[in-house]
Amino acid sequence: MSRNPKRKKEVTKRAVLAELERLRQGRHACYQTLVGRFARCPEQKSVAALFAAAVEASGRTNNRTPLDAPPGWLPPIN
């Protein structure tokens, strides 16, 4: 049984070109995961950064002791 290196090379070349085309079109397997799609979208990255900053700021404010309302601002509690 003889092997044809030219044919094997052609098959490999076609497979590589097909994978490059999938990468170009964004259909590669690495982009089909949630993390892969997130990594490609700058808008999602900026939204995530804003959300993380808001959560961090909220955590800082929740540790403070609440201030009492000035006298006369709230109706009397019976």
The C-alpha atoms of residue 11 and residue 18 are separated, in whole angstroms, by: 11
Please report, rounded to a whole number, the percentage of residues in the chain having pLDDT higher than 70: 76
The C-alpha atoms of residue 73 and residue 75 are separated, in whole angstroms, by: 7
pLDDT (tens digit per residue) in 38-70: 777 888 888 888 888 888 887 676 667 767 778
Task: Count the residues in the chain.
Answer: 78
pTM value?
A: 0.39
Average pLDDT over residues 74-78: 70
